[in-house]
Amino acid sequence: MPSFELSARKPFNFLSVVDSHGWRQLAPFRVDEDNLCYVDRLSSGRVLEYRISKSADGVTVSTKKSLSAAERREVSDRVRWMLNLEMDFSAFYAACKGEPKLARARKLARGRLLRSPTLFEDVIKTILTTNTLWAATKNMSAKLVSVLGSVSDEDPEIRAFPTPEQIAASTPAEIQEKVRVGYRAPAIHELGVRVASGGFDLEALKTSPLSTPELRKEFMKINGIGPYAAANLLMILGRHDFIPIDSSALAIVSAEWYRGKPVTAEHVERRFKKWGAHKGLAFWFWDWKDNQS
DNA sequence: GGTAGACCTGGACGC
DNA sequence: GCGTCCAGGTCTACC
């Protein structure tokens, strides 16, 4: 099986990235034992699955068939992005010192969040997490891939996440009916159209010079993206100064400090205010009483 | 600027 | 079975 190595900035813990949130469960990701697999559609149109596993210096990326030099460069760039191999978390780990609830985060080199190769895919998936159960999010993501994604010529069993063009070529009614995303269909289709037409360079936001509050506003201009979803996307981009506060966030904060009594977003903010630019990370990797994973 | 109500879906739950 | 509730929120209308 053809393979190559990618190094990571230290400290690096492969499983801490894979387990950083639920993305590994959303198609076209899958986990096979301790390997992370992803079906990608390269710029050439070739659809293939690559398998990522830990190595001494970072990760090993393997494919069933060989890649051209250009394809290998493309896959390398995408895997580096997906696992955030280059990011420096030393300031966060320094801030964690003296906080027992973040001792494991430091010890396990937590901080990196698994992300999709494109911001487009992560925005769509974030929309799929809103106002629903996680099981339904997984279903919607799987259907989006199986209904609209490109099938591989090399393996008809695998499909990639649909491109903006593929989503734009569909209709909101078709997306709602076949992908079962409900009221989210118009927002998903609209984003596909905007990106496919070239009217919205969503991927440019990956490296935007905008301040985090300005970038948050940009995300919130997207239909279907509110405060929770914008904060989630900022976390994915490595901007950690907003907390994605959803109903489960309220529940765990309530259990942690308020004996299960109802709390608001302000309670969450107050508890993590002191972490400043690391607020999102401190929240995300806190050792919650009710979540010892 | 703050808030109530509608919004798709499908799994869980009670009957 | 069947009906109801509600979840990893957002949007809009209204005050």
Q: How far is the CA of A30 from the C1' of C9 (A)?
A: 26
- Residue-level pLDDT at A287: 93
Give the predicted TM-score (pTM) of the model: 0.96
Task: Answer yes or no: is A232 CB < 7 A from strand C.
Answer: yes
Q: Which amino acid is at A62?
A: S
Q: How far is the CA of A50 from the C1' of C3 (A)?
A: 46
Closest nucleotide to A129, Cα to C1': C8
Among A50, A187, A42, A21, smallest CA distance to A118 is for A42
Instruction: Report helix angle A119-129 to A185-196, nearest 10.
Output: 170
Residue of least CA–C1' distance to B6: A183
Q: How far is the CA of A131 from the C1' of C7 (A)?
A: 6
Question: Are A212 and A242 within 8 A, CB to CB?
Answer: yes
Q: How far is the CA of A65 from the C1' of C10 (A)?
A: 43
Within 10 angstroms of residue A57's Cβ, the number of other Cβ atoms is 12
- Residue-level pLDDT at A168: 96
- pLDDT per residue as tens, chain A (293 positions): 899 999 999 999 999 999 999 999 999 999 999 899 999 999 999 999 999 999 999 999 999 999 999 999 999 999 999 999 999 999 999 999 999 999 999 999 999 999 999 999 999 999 999 988 888 999 999 999 999 999 999 999 999 999 999 999 999 999 999 999 999 999 999 999 999 999 999 999 999 999 999 999 999 999 999 999 999 999 999 999 999 998 888 888 888 998 888 888 888 999 999 999 999 999 999 999 865 44
- Residue-level pLDDT at A290: 66
Task: Answer yes or no: is A186 CB < 7 A from strand C.
Answer: no
Q: How far is the CA of A184 from the C1' of B4 (A)?
A: 21
Residue of least CA–C1' distance to B10: A136
Q: How far is the CA of A266 from the C1' of B2 (A)?
A: 15
Task: Answer yes or no: is A264 CB < 7 A from strand C.
Answer: no
Task: Answer yes or no: is A182 CB < 7 A from strand C.
Answer: no
- Residue-level pLDDT at A292: 41
To 5 degrees, how large is the angle CA A80–CA A207–CA A107?
Answer: 50
Q: Report how far apart, in Å, the C-alpha atoms of A248 and of each of A17, A229, A231, A258 are.
A: 21, 14, 15, 14
List protein-proximal bases of chain B (any atom < 7 A from a CB).
7-12
Task: Answer yes or no: is A61 CB < 7 A from strand C.
Answer: no
Task: Answer yes or no: is A227 CB < 7 A from strand C.
Answer: yes
Closest nucleotide to A224, Cα to C1': C10
Q: A50: helix, coil or strand?
A: strand
Q: How far is the CA of A131 from the C1' of B5 (A)?
A: 15
Within 10 angstroms of residue A186's Cβ, the number of other Cβ atoms is 16
pLDDT tens profile A25-46:
999 999 999 899 999 999 999 9
To the nearest 10°, the Cα dihedral for A118, A238, A247, A183? Answer: -20
Q: How far is the CA of A226 from the C1' of C14 (A)?
A: 20
- Residue-level pLDDT at A291: 57
Q: How far is the CA of A159 from the C1' of C4 (A)?
A: 37
- Residue-level pLDDT at A251: 85
Among A244, A259, A245, A246, smallest CA distance to A290 is for A259
